Amino acid sequence: MHEFSRSAVIAATPDEIWAVIGDFGALGDWHPVVPPSTIEGGGDANTPGAVRAFAIDGEVLSREELLSHDDAAHRMSYRLIQVPLAVTDYVGTLAVHPHADGGEVVWSATYEGEPDVVETVDAVFAEGTYGAGLAALRERFA
């Protein structure tokens, strides 16, 4: 099993941060490099089992299923069910914790994949998605 984590201290309270990032269906609203998503079947985006699909020009690139969502704990986890990379059992977790300077956002993942895909996953998800999202949050609350 492989894992990675990225975090950032944000100059805002955990509640303020969660108000921006806590909607499973709205990742594309605050993240600068993620396309908008739709919740399949039109259900509640924050109910476990909800599936968000990311598409560009009508072609679905990836799909993720919400596993858990806890507003009080400022935490959600999801699994990739369709992605253009050779990974399996990918579970991501996004959480906000209190910090002396505001809130700390921790975005982490575990997954299975052959050693030759780890570098690509790191570049695409750890840096490209997680890193870019955290940088945008720091800027938003600066």
Question: In angstroms, rounded to a whole number, what is the distance separating the alpha carbons of residues 28 and 25?
Answer: 8
Burial class for 115, CB neighbours closer than 10 Å (0-12, 13-18, 19+): exposed
pLDDT tens per residue, range 17-43: 999 999 999 999 999 998 889 999 988
Q: Spell out a b/e string for 31-52, using b for 16 or more CB atoms within 10 Å of the CB, else e.
A: beebeebebeeeeebbeeebbb
Domain parsing of the chain, residue ranges? 2-23+64-141
Q: What is the pLDDT of residue 57?
A: 79
From the options 3.30.1330.10, 3.30.360.10, 3.30.530.20, 1.20.1260.10, give the CATH code of 2-23+64-141: 3.30.530.20
In this predicted structure, the answer to whether residue 67 has a pLDDT above a threshold of 90 is yes
Element (H, E) at 120: helix 115-121
pLDDT tens per residue, range 107-137: 999 999 988 888 898 888 888 899 999 999 9
pLDDT tens per residue, range 84-109: 888 999 999 999 999 999 999 999 99
Q: What is the pLDDT of residue 100?
A: 97
Task: State the sign of the Cα–Cα–Cα–Cα dihedral 11, 16, 19, 22.
Answer: positive
Tokens found for residue 85: 């990379």
Give me the mean pLDDT over the 7-21 stretch.
97
Place of tokens 């938003």: 140
Q: What is the pLDDT of residue 55?
A: 85
Q: What is the pLDDT of residue 56?
A: 79
